[in-house]
Amino acid sequence: MAVLDQFHLEGNNALVTGAGRGIGRALAIALAEAGAKVALVGRDAEAAAGTLAVIKEAGGDGVVIAADINTDEGVETAVSTTVSELGSLDILVNNAGYCIHGPALEVTRDDYHAVMDVNMEALYFLSQAAAKVMQKQGGGNIINVGSISSIIVNRPQWQPVYNASKAAVHQLTKSLAAEWAPLNIRVNAIAPGYIKTEMAPVDEPRFKARWIDDSAQQRYAMPDELGATVVYLASTGSSFMTGSVVVIDGGYSIF
């Protein structure tokens, strides 16, 4: 197989959470451009439909699935509908995430669960459900969206629970990769730095000194700059990779 052919995803079906906007939208579009059909999962069906419109305009295909992956019913709906509508579940991209800024002394129990329930619990049980399908199919590929917040402490804002949740995502990635390798299920993660999304106001002057000037490249990234890496991780081009966390942060974490 020619080297560039290894990155083609024709015949693969992907499920992407939080696909209506930001990073999830960009990753879903990238997977579709590489040839995969994409199930766009989220609570905001209208936003996901906007992503699907872009995919179809470019010649791709997919389906919108309105589901709350913080519930058992939502997880079952996301996975079973992907299989019934697209035919299989070959690639899972756990992108949905949530962050609350605030010092640790002020974090409430509700704040804690609001972050952990999305960033860890939903990711865990959706991965579990997807892996059961992938096991029956003979294999699959799971890609988790972590963060450099797992290896640094962000400033000037404090976000202790988010940071802990992303560290957990990275360690879970390694644990599942080890356990599911005999099932031919690969599990990897990306750790983005500061990306321009609704959740990260990278343009605000109050953040520039720490978020931008402290980076080696001294800039933020756009969501579509993550797409090629996720396509690589989803493809046979990365067939000997599992349990890896790929840092994409413009050199922020090297200092």
Catalytic residue ranges: 162
185: exposed, middle or buried (C-beta count within 10 Å: 0-12, 13-18, 19+)? buried
For 101, list phi and psi in degrees, rounded to 5.
-90, 135
Among residues 194, 114, 191, which one has the least CA distance to residue 145? 191
Question: Cα torsion for 84, 11, 128, 79, to the nearest 10°?
Answer: -20
Q: How many other β-carbons are positioned within 10 Å of the β-carbon of residue 244?
A: 16
Helices (H), the chain: 22-33, 45-57, 72-86, 109-116, 123-137, 160-180, 205-207, 227-234
157: exposed, middle or buried (C-beta count within 10 Å: 0-12, 13-18, 19+)? middle
Q: How many other β-carbons are positioned within 10 Å of the β-carbon of residue 99?
A: 20
